[in-house]
Amino acid sequence: MHVLSLILAAGYIAAAPPATDLLRVFHDEADRAGLGIWVDVLPGGGALAGETPLADAVRAMSTYVHSYAARYGRHASLRGWYINQELNPLRPGQEPDSSWWRGLWRRTVEEGKRARPGAEVMISPFFLLDEDGLRGFEWLAPEVYRTWWSETLGETGIDILAVQDSGAEHLSLSTIDDRRPMLSAFAQAARDHGRAPWVNVESGHHVADTWPAAVAAEFGGTARWESVPAEVFARKLDLAAELGAQVINWGYFPYQNPLAEDGPWLPSADTAAAAAAYQEYVALAKARGPLFRATLWWLPGGWGAVEEGTVRRLVRQQIAAQRKLGVDILWLINTPHYFERLAAAEAGLQ
């Protein structure tokens, strides 16, 4: 099965054949700025293990990483691979899913490093804070996460375990004390294998005062999402520092994006609010130093059709804005979508 087939099966929408090699633009501009790039390998949620034979998923992944490295490997900015799979937490011994995922991830590490020697392989899982199961998922104790992820790192060789710090629910009502045991468990799983802990310190949250209200808003389609205030984000950074962790970020897009132009990323729904939040974060960075090493850029399907000069200018502007917050890695997702369609267009298949 081709990468594109798996993407479409997961609900990704096909776009017109790209007029611009968007990924080359990113690599060119990252090279120019002295930044690294992580690219995602293969999207898919937890159901992928039950729907796709492991051999097919491994074949698609291997074809992709080797083809990507062959095309863009001359760029110094190609630093690593992001395993773009978020699955509901598994218990130790929960089979066959545990073995399926570890088998895929082990081969991703092997083939990713074979295609790009020295590359980092990163994953960013979540945990659940909903102890009462109001959202319909089972809550697991921190030690369960530590055991499963320690076993997983040992079997796969994944380099970077960057846990999402907000919990799957991303609720404003969750406190640092709520999160600390979970983050500590992931940090210990990394240390079990001599790896430095990483934390994905998230800067967007669902604003809610109580769990029942949050669940009702989520399932009723009325959830209110906002930028995490700078003073709260500072406390989240303090927790990451307490754990000795390197920091990456989800939430800059769309919640702190200061640019009015919509670029090849999630645009801000409220440009004025995002620009104000960005300035708060710049002030925070000036006061305490770099905030995060990388932030996630999701590449929507239509941006390959935009003229290259426009894309290059916008990417360059965004890099300049993010450097003020400490970014030295561009974390790109939806790259298989672009790569596969570009290759198909060049082969005359579209």
> How is residue 272 written in tokens?
């004025």
- The range of the structural domain enclosing residue 216 comes to 3-346
pLDDT in tens, 195-245: 999 999 999 999 999 999 999 999 999 999 999 999 999 999 999 999 999
In the block, which residue shows the tokens 């090849």? 264
Give residue for tokens 């929408």: 13
CA separation for the pair 316, 303 (Å, rounded): 15
What's the pLDDT band for 190 if we cut at 50, 70, 90? very high
**CATH code of the domain in which 86 resides:** 3.20.20.70
- Residue appearing with tokens 């092997």: 110
pLDDT mean over 176-189: 98
Quote the mean pLDDT of the chain: 90
- Per the structure, the count of domains in the chain is 1
Question: Is residue 200 within 8 Å of residue 249, measured between CB atoms?
Answer: yes
Average pLDDT, integer, range 20-34: 94
At residue 95 the predicted structure's pLDDT band, cuts being 50, 70 and 90, is very high
At 128-148, the pLDDT tens digits run 999 999 999 999 999 999 999
pLDDT for 312 beyond 60: yes
| pLDDT of 5 strictly over 50 | no
Q: What are the pLDDT digits (tens) for 50-68?
A: 889 999 999 999 999 999 9
Q: How many CB atoms lie within 10 A of CB 88?
A: 15
Q: What are phi and psi of 117, to 5 degrees?
A: -55, 135
Tens digits of per-residue pLDDT, 252-272? 998 999 987 666 666 666 788
